[in-house]
Structure 1
Amino acid sequence: MNGFLLKELALYRSERAARNASAEVRAIFEREHERICMRSDKLIACLMLLQWPGAVLASFLISPTTWVGGQSRIHPHVIAAIALGGLITILPVTLAIFAPGKIYTRHIIAACQMLMSGLLIHVTGGRIETHFHVFGSLAFLCFYLDWPVLITATLTTLVNHLAMGYYEPIAIFGTAAGSHGRMLEHVLWVVFCDTFMITSCVQTLRGLWVTSHREAEQDVLLYQAYHDALTGLGNRLLIQKKLSVLLDDPSRKGSRFALLSIDLDRFKEVNDTLGHQAGDALLIQVSTRLQGLLRKDDVLARMGGDEFALLIDDCQSQTVAESVAARMIGCITTPFDLGQHEARIGASIGICLHPQEGLEAKDLFHHADLALYKVKNSGRNSFLVFDEKMRAETTLQMSLEHNLRTAVHEQLMEVYYQPIVDAMGLVLGFEALLRWHDSVHGQVSPAQFIPIAERNGLIVPLGNWVLAQACAQAAEWRRQGNKLSKMSVNVSSAQLSHDKFVGVVLATLKETGLPPELLDLELTEGVMIENHGQTQQTLELLRKFGVRLSIDDFGTGYSSLSYLRELPVHTLKIDRAFVTDIEHSIEARTLVEGMIDMARSLNLRIVAEGVENRQQMDILIAAGCDQIQGFHISKAVPAEAAGRLMAVKEPTPERQSLAVWNIASADMPA
């Protein structure tokens, strides 16, 4: 998605947000106004139920009653109060019960209320005090905050007065006399009062609109506080709030649900390669896909960056959570269309179940993150459910990672040196090997801390530090008169792919004074073949400056003859896995002999590592192996002890047996 489309999308979202905000204000206004009207419907209907008996009572007390022929005759005003009053009252009461808040309900109620005022005036003979009932009715109708209702009430009053003969046009000019003139005056007062009340309603409506606008703004702010601006998903606050509701609600005590912690794999590569705009577009597409997998009550949130969380309500079993996680991984691994580019990513998911593995929100998040951490350390693009064993393993890994970061930054590690000898037992050089003794965990194996350093980006500064230490030590030994033909240093893929790696190597050689031909950089087959074109250019440049190159752990990787012919390497190091059984297995011995013959045909030197006894040593030398490295010679030792190993100048028959090296290194730390 290019920049123009993103700008258009942002503009569209801004306009849509403005429309949504306006719609929200109107919705709040109409909801509040409807609530007011419903309340007013019921209030005025109740008043009309009281007015009807009042009108009947007034007709009995005020209207005259006569007796004719011993029989009584009810005055017509009484009949009107009972019959018409009932008709006027029953309809609005019915509407207030069955259709409250409707527009037609309040207009009908307003008309009936004004008819009730006219009826009272009629049955009382137009007594002046009943005229004020009209004004009182208008005042009550103001409760609706709906000025068209007041218009309906006024028109109903005027029509009623015309029908009852209270109003004559001639009275406008003052020629009418008596009550008719007074009624005209009364009607004019009604109109004046009505105009005043309409103005008051309009002002009150404006106030209600302002209040609705303020409430809508608060709703928008509240929405923004609980939702992610980019994807529209909930955020950390929303999912925490939902968790609190589930955990604190007494009716949900012991309820089953699952919390999934989701992290996108390789998203950083997309973001760094294609730019942040493409990364944002990718996140939007990911959120859309994930939302399509959810039920109504599930809550998906973006926690920040490329991290998401999912709360699955009413999750009855671990199988349900695992099924959801598998579907999520499946939809995310499908390629994403980013305009001119196609992005392929994955997802790692950690799952925590309630109430099995957590009773508090912080525990649920922590356990889900621990499971996620375990997934990412185990190869990614998968899911795991948290258990207590995982807690111990992950806690150890996190502690090691924290302490390793401190050790790298404060240079608390040591470089040990394992000798490499020729067939005569003469020390040719050393391989620099990193050792770490942690104050908490004791001696930590490189097999533990090297993968951690590779994951968290520490491997580059750590590898450069080892390179500097090894070159400085080799240069120091040369100044002391000790002759050695090489110092081997392992190089990681992260170092080799760094654009400044060649400069770092050359600068280190210049600073330490070590000749380039004495530095032997060891790289695995996988490191060399990964991003082959760029790697080959880097290796060719290093070889041009005189640095020697070796393939480490040969035979465990690609083992492609075409790559061996193309790459500018000098040495092959046979992995210890092939050396272990050569004294017992004909197949293993044949395989090693084949590797040696192949290396010789390519004019490469051969180093066998992992040699642990005399028999292995003799077989390798007989097969034509050039150099030997392993515990049979010596373990990796500190620089001071390594210096003593170089003190032997002329190998003797006894020294050729290499037993002297074991004796010499017996007092040296491993």
Structure 2
Amino acid sequence: MVDNCTILIIDDEEINTLQLEHALEDVGNIITLNDSTQALELIHKAKPDVLLLDLEMPKISGFDILQELQFNPEFEQLRIIVITSHGDPQIEESALSLGAIDFISKPLNLKLCRLRIENHVKVKAQENILQNTQAALFAEKEHLRITIDSIADGVISTDQHAQITYMNPVAQRLTGWSQTAAKGRHIEEVMKLTDSTTKTPSINPLTVALKENRPVAMAINTQLTSKQGVEHRVEDSAAPILNEKKQQCGAVMVFQDVSETLAMSVQMTYLSHHDQLTSLPNRVLLHDRLTQGIARASFNDTKLSLLLLDLDKFKFINDALGHHIGDEIIAHIGHSLDCFACNDITVARVGGDEFALVVPHESHSLSLEPLINQVLNVISKPFRSGGEQHILSASLGISVYPDDANCVEEMLRHADSAMYKAKNEAANSYCYFSTDLQVEMNKRLDVGNKLRKALENNALDVHYQPKYDLRSGEMVGVESLVRLSDDEGGFISPLNFIEYAEETGLIFRLGEQVLEKSCISAKRWLDAGVPTKVAVNISAKQFTDSKLVDTVAMILEKTQLPSKYLELEVTESALIENYEYAVNQLKLIAKMKVSIALDDFGTGYSSLSYLRLFPLNVLKIDQSFVRDMLTDSQALDIVSTIIELAHSLHLQIVAEGIETAEQKNKLDELGCATGQGYLLGKPMNYESLTQLLLPSLHNNDQYV
């Protein structure tokens, strides 16, 4: 039996259907019907592969059924075999014209019937297989067409003569040709390829692939011009199409539009080499320009100068007015400096408020002063931003190849050192790198290394300068002074390493260590029965630290020192730089019952308003006034005024830098209760001060 083959037998004589059903039972699935009025309904329901139909039936004849089936496309593939008792050729002709394909005569010869039906079933099975195969091939072809039409690349196939046979929608869009119009045309007529730089025609890789029978990549920098004149940058490859016998039967071209990709690549390259705010070359491109400049200078025996400039006090402007105003200022400076950029000179933004100029010049050329002065003049021109007029200045450092540098890194480092030197001079200053500057830079680096090592090992020395009651001579407290050891058993001046610590951010670690060491000493003195208040200096940089209050509280808790034995000394500049923040910081510190002293009073703003608002306990008279008060009447007036001011505000007053008995007596006469200085006592280490406080006190390791 052929799988799934259904045979429907319709005959009004039941004996015929029974005989045929028995004879064909293993040929297929047999269905019989004797009532012709139900024939069409059963045919639609059963959908047989083979139909045995009796022509002479009452009510509805076989011819009637044939006529109904003839115009129904659903039964085009139905194999109809008619059963008739007539041998009239006219009847056969009519049945054949209505769709019948074979005849079985009555009376039935069952053996012959079986053979005929078996053959038709086999043919029908082959038809089904062929039909299913064709459907599968069509589905596969349609899937392939949809896939190729859906991909983002253009696809063009040709015959072996490079004449187009197929184009997907992307290829049609990029070439400007429809598939109908392009079909049969040569590939080079449809794909106009040129070199995007020279505009000379390019050979189509598909023709090369056909000629050499191998895959061929598209030439670099290829441009496709569409039928409408639209230009696209394209890339990819072509390959020959081989049949199962490895014979060439055509070729396929696959290509893609890379115009946007190239534009994005160009944009990304630009962004990676230029500053977003000023559009000037950034540090990466500056490094490249310096490298090229050094190579040219070396080859031509010329010089190359690097001018590195930094805006003066820009951080103050940025913090005070906001970053959006700061960005406007940076953009303005970048635009102003861009006027110096030309084929020879590169202007770049190094980062933050730093800019650079790379200037090539002849070995015998005049100095750079004219250019430097022009640059500084451009920066100093007033301009308005944020509704206010701003006047800026800059510090500039210069390094010259090959005079003081042999490579890019050395030029950058030397120019930075020279700029740092200029920044310490005055606004709008410039400085060339020199041997002396190199020595100074090396010393500075050495100090930095020693400071870092001391901080890592918690090896900073803290000395204490005593404070005395000027009338009774009794010690009333000490001031902590940090010391950094050198390699020769001496100390490095705080002027050398405090500034370095502030610039590098090490001041926070330094301040914390000094504060903790001072509190440990004060706690040991307290436990020994000689309670002594210790004053610790807090730098302006430390005062901006949001963790300062927490750090003070943590150290007091750690050392178990009562807060009344700690005093923090702050400078006027630290308070004024961020007024509201300073008020909040000081109030939090005051809540802990820690004394607050205003150091170097009289050298800064000396505003009476903030003296009233800040929770201060002590005013310290700067040593410069104390030193000059006996010879300078103005200095004496200032000292007198400060003392009277402190008394009126109920503040303690401390005079610094007392070096002579005359100074001490005069201060006592003016009403200054407390003083410190070399006359009264020099700074000393913990052990020496402990002996001074209590000579019999021995060292106690409990708090070390």
Q: TM-score, normalised by structure 2?
A: 0.56
Matched, 1:617 2:664: yes
Listed as ranges, the matches of 1:551-562 within 5 Å are: 551-562=598-609
**Structure 1 residues 32 and 219 mapped into 2: Cα distance closer, same or farther (>3 Å)?**
farther
1:542 corresponds in structure 2 to 589
Which among 252, 257, 262 is matched to residue 309 of structure 2?
Answer: 262
8 Å Cα contact 2:195-2:201 kept in structure 1: no
Question: Residue 274 of structure 2 aligns to which amino acid in structure 1?
Answer: D
Matched, 1:300 2:347: yes
2:297 corresponds in structure 1 to 247
1:368 corresponds in structure 2 to 415
Matched, 1:628 2:670: no
Which among 592, 610, 624 is matched to residue 563 of structure 1?
Answer: 610
Alpha-carbon distance in 2 for matches of 1:501, 1:216 = 53
- Measured after TM superposition, the shift of residue 470 of structure 1 is 0.9
Which among 518, 535, 546 is matched to residue 470 of structure 1?
Answer: 518
**Structure 1 residues 554 and 268 mapped into 2: Cα distance closer, same or farther (>3 Å)?**
closer
1:227 corresponds in structure 2 to 273
1:29 corresponds in structure 2 to 195
Matched, 1:436 2:493: no
- Measured after TM superposition, the shift of residue 526 of structure 1 is 2.1
Question: Residue 195 of structure 2 aligns to which amino acid in structure 1?
Answer: F
Alpha-carbon distance in 1 for matches of 2:637, 2:312 = 43
Alpha-carbon distance in 1 for matches of 2:267, 2:489 = 49
- Measured after TM superposition, the shift of residue 386 of structure 1 is 2.4
Matched, 1:497 2:537: no
Alpha-carbon distance in 2 for matches of 1:435, 1:585 = 33
Alpha-carbon distance in 2 for matches of 1:341, 1:598 = 36
Matched, 1:330 2:376: no
**Structure 1 residues 299 and 567 mapped into 2: Cα distance closer, same or farther (>3 Å)?**
same
- Measured after TM superposition, the shift of residue 334 of structure 1 is 4.4
Matched, 1:461 2:509: yes
Alpha-carbon distance in 1 for matches of 2:645, 2:194 = 82
8 Å Cα contact 2:395-2:423 kept in structure 1: yes
- Measured after TM superposition, the shift of residue 242 of structure 1 is 2.4
- Measured after TM superposition, the shift of residue 236 of structure 1 is 3.5
1:579 corresponds in structure 2 to 626
Matched, 1:599 2:649: no
Alpha-carbon distance in 2 for matches of 1:276, 1:603 = 41
Question: Residue 502 of structure 1 aligns to which amino acid in structure 2?
Answer: V
Q: 1:107-144: per-residue Cα shift (whole Å, max 9, x none)?
A: xxxxxxxxxxxxxxxxxxxxxxxxxxxxxxxxxxxxxx
Q: Percent identity between the aligned chains?
A: 32
Which among 296, 313, 319 is matched to residue 369 of structure 2?
Answer: 319
Alpha-carbon distance in 1 for matches of 2:319, 2:593 = 34
- Gapped runs of 5+ residues in structure 2? 1-191, 204-221, 226-250, 697-704
- Measured after TM superposition, the shift of residue 535 of structure 1 is 1.1
Alpha-carbon distance in 2 for matches of 1:219, 1:29 = 19
- Gapped runs of 5+ residues in structure 1? 1-25, 38-144, 149-202, 650-670
Question: Residue 474 of structure 2 aligns to which amino acid in structure 1?
Answer: L
Alpha-carbon distance in 2 for matches of 1:146, 1:609 = 81
Q: 1:204-257: per-residue Cα shift (whole Å, max 9, x none)?
A: xx99x99999997999599669833743626134213321342232xx32x344
SS at match of 2:624: helix
1:394 corresponds in structure 2 to 441
**Structure 1 residues 441 and 367 mapped into 2: Cα distance closer, same or farther (>3 Å)?**
farther
SS at match of 1:296: coil
Alpha-carbon distance in 1 for matches of 2:662, 2:194 = 89
Q: 1:364-420: per-residue Cα shift (whole Å, max 9, x none)?
A: 333322212323444666432323332222332233233323322332211111111
- Measured after TM superposition, the shift of residue 586 of structure 1 is 5.2
SS at match of 1:580: helix
- Measured after TM superposition, the shift of residue 344 of structure 1 is 9.0
Question: Residue 461 of structure 1 aligns to which amino acid in structure 2?
Answer: R
8 Å Cα contact 2:275-2:349 kept in structure 1: no
Question: Residue 509 of structure 1 aligns to which amino acid in structure 2?
Answer: L
- Measured after TM superposition, the shift of residue 641 of structure 1 is 0.9
Alpha-carbon distance in 1 for matches of 2:502, 2:617 = 26
How many residue pairs get aligned? The number is 454
Alpha-carbon distance in 2 for matches of 1:342, 1:29 = 54
Higher Cα radius of gyration:
2
Alpha-carbon distance in 1 for matches of 2:224, 2:508 = 76
1:530 corresponds in structure 2 to 577
Alpha-carbon distance in 2 for matches of 1:334, 1:316 = 32
Question: Residue 329 of structure 1 aligns to which amino acid in structure 2?
Answer: I
SS at match of 2:195: helix
Alpha-carbon distance in 1 for matches of 2:692, 2:614 = 33
Alpha-carbon distance in 2 for matches of 1:357, 1:373 = 17
- Measured after TM superposition, the shift of residue 507 of structure 1 is 2.0
8 Å Cα contact 2:291-2:408 kept in structure 1: no
8 Å Cα contact 1:233-1:287 kept in structure 2: no
Listed as ranges, the matches of 1:35-54 within 5 Å are: none
SS at match of 2:681: coil
SS at match of 1:483: coil
**Structure 1 residues 619 and 556 mapped into 2: Cα distance closer, same or farther (>3 Å)?**
same
Question: Residue 507 of structure 2 aligns to which amino acid in structure 1?
Answer: I
Alpha-carbon distance in 2 for matches of 1:459, 1:354 = 35
- Measured after TM superposition, the shift of residue 263 of structure 1 is 4.0
**Structure 1 residues 290 and 491 mapped into 2: Cα distance closer, same or farther (>3 Å)?**
same
Alpha-carbon distance in 2 for matches of 1:272, 1:601 = 35
1:515 corresponds in structure 2 to 562
SS at match of 1:505: helix
**Structure 1 residues 568 and 462 mapped into 2: Cα distance closer, same or farther (>3 Å)?**
same
**Structure 1 residues 582 and 369 mapped into 2: Cα distance closer, same or farther (>3 Å)?**
closer
SS at match of 1:630: coil
- Measured after TM superposition, the shift of residue 621 of structure 1 is 1.8
- Measured after TM superposition, the shift of residue 280 of structure 1 is 7.8
**Structure 1 residues 540 and 246 mapped into 2: Cα distance closer, same or farther (>3 Å)?**
same
SS at match of 2:603: coil
Q: Which moved more, 1:371-380 or 1:550-559?
A: 371-380
Alpha-carbon distance in 2 for matches of 1:591, 1:218 = 68
Which among 433, 438, 445 is matched to residue 493 of structure 2?
Answer: 445
Alpha-carbon distance in 2 for matches of 1:27, 1:612 = 92
Matched, 1:642 2:689: yes
8 Å Cα contact 1:298-1:313 kept in structure 2: yes
8 Å Cα contact 2:194-2:201 kept in structure 1: no
8 Å Cα contact 1:325-1:349 kept in structure 2: no
**Structure 1 residues 277 and 548 mapped into 2: Cα distance closer, same or farther (>3 Å)?**
closer
Alpha-carbon distance in 1 for matches of 2:671, 2:531 = 24
1:665 corresponds in structure 2 to none
Alpha-carbon distance in 2 for matches of 1:238, 1:600 = 65
Alpha-carbon distance in 2 for matches of 1:461, 1:27 = 67
Alpha-carbon distance in 2 for matches of 1:479, 1:602 = 34
Question: Residue 325 of structure 1 aligns to which amino acid in structure 2?
Answer: V
**Structure 1 residues 271 and 532 mapped into 2: Cα distance closer, same or farther (>3 Å)?**
closer
8 Å Cα contact 2:531-2:565 kept in structure 1: no
Alpha-carbon distance in 1 for matches of 2:193, 2:400 = 39
Q: Which moved more, 1:237-246 or 1:413-422?
A: 237-246
Q: 1:65-102: per-residue Cα shift (whole Å, max 9, x none)?
A: xxxxxxxxxxxxxxxxxxxxxxxxxxxxxxxxxxxxxx
Asked which structure has the greater RCO (Cα within 8 Å, sep 6+), the reply is: 1
**Structure 1 residues 647 and 278 mapped into 2: Cα distance closer, same or farther (>3 Å)?**
same
Question: Residue 446 of structure 1 aligns to which amino acid in structure 2?
Answer: P
**Structure 1 residues 296 and 480 mapped into 2: Cα distance closer, same or farther (>3 Å)?**
same
- Measured after TM superposition, the shift of residue 436 of structure 1 is 0.7
Larger strand proportion, structure 1 or 2? Answer: 2
